Amino acid sequence: MGGQPRHWLCHDEGKLEECKDFFKTLYMFIYFLGTYLKPHVAILDGITMGGGGGVSIPGTFRVATDRTVFATPEVHIGFHPDAAASFYLSHLTGHVGEYVALTGEKLNGTDMIALGLATHYFMSGHLDLIDERLAKLVTDDPSVIDSSLAQYGDMVYPDKKSIVHRLEVIDKCFSHDTVEEIVDALESEAASSNEEWCILALKRLKEASPLALKVSLRSIREGRYQTLDECLVREYRMSMNGISKQFSHEFCEGVRARLVDKDFTPKWDPPALEYVTNDMVDAYFAPLGDSEPELKLPIESREAFV
């Protein structure tokens, strides 16, 4: 989502149209990158969130570094992980995608390699080697590019705090059908283990928008059975419904609390999970209607990415 949320908070109808154009352009670009027939290399050297992840992760090669910080923190501003996040998170091992989507935990470059979000790892100071090597290649053979990146890449291993050491517990807690059940499972795990990561995960869940949590869980679960284009069309629909204020003011309130006033005390509505109804969640996934066109992707000419 980049630096746009403050801008989108404006109630001016012209700004809302700019917002819609932004989403449409971003999602179209992600689709073109994700279905591009020739390999390309994305360098994730720094903060990789929202649209940054969307234009990088669906591609062929993703190079993480010691400076990489990846997260999908949208639930904390009353939104949902978008820009193809429901596609690539849902295809991670087990239920770690649900965990990342609902907690917004930050992952480093080593974690991204371990989870498959990145394909290669370089120390930031060695990135010039990529430019020099790739500039000399006269090929679009993925295997040649892969071996070239591997030749100059750095070896890294997850430390003791890495997410890879708790995948089994994450699967156990985040495989449940509802957010309420996930919270209950985490509370039981925290009580029995007193693990810091579990306590922090619970804290993040309780700080997030209850409505956004339920919307995001459903989005990830649907993404597991959809192609890239199907996820983008659905996410566009969810985004338009989420910012329209017709169903909810969660996005505006989340942006106000975290990015504008910075009081970090959002007044979520509904204020708790038990008050979020199925109808409220369904509204985010509802067709846009005649007055608001759906996202049209060139799927006839570009094969859908499975």
How many domains is the chain built from? 1
Residue 270's φ and ψ, nearest 5 degrees, are -70, 155
Count of other CB atoms within 10 angstroms of residue 127: 16
Residues 93/167, Cβ–Cβ less than 8 Å: yes
In a domain, 300, yes or no: no
The structure's pTM equals 0.91
pLDDT at 77: 94
pLDDT at 49: 92
pLDDT at 1: 46
Using alpha carbons, list the distances in angstroms from residue 11 to 18, 79, 244: 12, 17, 10
In a domain, 175, yes or no: yes
pLDDT at 183: 98
Domain that holds residue 218: 5-285
Instruction: Give, in degrees to the nearest 5, the angle at Cα 281 between 50 and 283.
Output: 95
Q: How far apart are CA 170 and CA 71, in angstroms?
A: 17
pLDDT digit string (tens) for the chain, length 306 residues: 445 555 555 445 556 777 888 899 999 999 999 888 888 899 999 999 988 999 999 889 999 999 999 999 999 999 999 999 999 999 999 999 999 999 999 999 999 999 999 999 999 988 888 888 888 888 888 999 999 888 888 888 888 889 999 999 999 999 999 999 999 999 999 999 989 999 999 999 999 999 999 999 999 999 999 999 999 999 999 999 988 777 788 998 998 999 888 999 999 999 999 999 999 999 999 998 777 889 999 887 666 554
pLDDT at 157: 87
Q: Name the residue with tokens 């430019």.
A: 131
pLDDT at 9: 52
Q: Dihedral sign, CA of 51, 53, 58, 61?
A: positive
In a domain, 231, yes or no: yes
Residue 30's φ and ψ, nearest 5 degrees, are -60, -40
pLDDT at 12: 52
In a domain, 296, yes or no: no
pLDDT at 116: 94
Q: Name the residue with tokens 């080697």.
A: 129
CATH number for 170: 3.90.226.10
Count of other CB atoms within 10 angstroms of residue 93: 13
In a domain, 90, yes or no: yes
In a domain, 301, yes or no: no
Q: How far apart are CA 184 and CA 85, in angstroms?
A: 25
In a domain, 298, yes or no: no
Residue 62's SS3 state is strand
Residues 144/137, Cβ–Cβ less than 8 Å: yes
Angle between helix axes 278-285 and 210-223 (nearest 10 degrees) is 50
Q: Is the peptide bond before 270 cis (omega within 30 degrees of 0)?
A: yes
In a domain, 290, yes or no: no
- Reference 264, options 273, 278, 276, 254; nearest CA is 254
Q: Name the residue with tokens 């639930």.
A: 75
Residue 192: how many CA atoms within 13 Å on its side-chain side? 7
Task: With residue 114 as reference, give the H or E element that holds it.
Answer: helix 109-115
